[in-house]
Chain A
Amino acid sequence: GAVVSQHPSWVICKSGTSVKIECRSLDFQATTMFWYRQFPKQSLMLMATSNEGSKATYEQGVEKDKFLINHASLTLSTLTVTSAHPEDSSFYICSAGTRQGGQPQHFGDGTRLSIL
């Protein structure tokens, strides 16, 4: 069964709306979760690293004020796309892992965000 649950799976909303995406680790405590974005026919690009109890680390070119990340517990990280615009339409996917580097990372099923 899934070890990482991501919701919602699909969101369609109007421009200017803020959208929150949840990522939960079901079977383990994830001190770190990763948020990726994937544009059509492109690969996954890391947006930010979400650390439990501290501020997220954003990749170059990702606006931290637009993509708010909260990791308040060891099992939940949220990504909020604030004042979303059509260019934010994309596939967003989270992953979670442990500090043991040899262990696999587990991915959520992703969220398809469409901004009209």
Chain B
Amino acid sequence: KQEVTQIPAALSVPEGENLVLNCSFTDSAIYNLQWFRQDPGKGLTSLLLIQSSQREQTSGRLNASLDKSSGRSTLYIAASQPGDSATYLCAVRPIGGNTPLVFGKGTRLSVIA
């Protein structure tokens, strides 16, 4: 059974710092991996989608990497801003038809001005 783990569970950094969020998964048989952002009481905002054949994806200040063989992904946030404060969720889509995503528990990020 696929399991997704995110470390750290919570992170507090001063504004301007670069930071890395970690995600690991137990089964490398995946279609893709997605990083989401969730603000308190809100739904999910998709940040980056990395296909299983890809190594990384970039969008603005965000860069996500994928090492499928080792079951790891990182989300790099450059020059963090208070507006980046949110919970970041990592999810993988297991291979096997129209499968649901399997989520990690998330990393709660606070960027202090």
Contacts and interface: CB of A to CB of B under 8 A. Distances in A.
Interface of A: 6, 31-32, 34, 36, 41-46, 49, 91, 93, 95, 97-99, 101-102, 104-110, 112
A43 to B, nearest CB: 4
Nearest to A93: B43
Contact of A101 (B41, B91, B99, B103): B99
Contact of A105 (B41, B93, B104, B108): B93
B103 A43 contact: yes
A101 to B, nearest CB: 4
A34 B91 CA distance: 14
Contacts of B95: 101
Interface of B: 31-32, 34, 36, 41-44, 46, 49, 51-52, 89, 91, 93, 95-106, 108
A49 B89 contact: no
Contacts of B43: 6, 93, 107-110
A21 to B, nearest CB: 13
A5 to B, nearest CB: 11
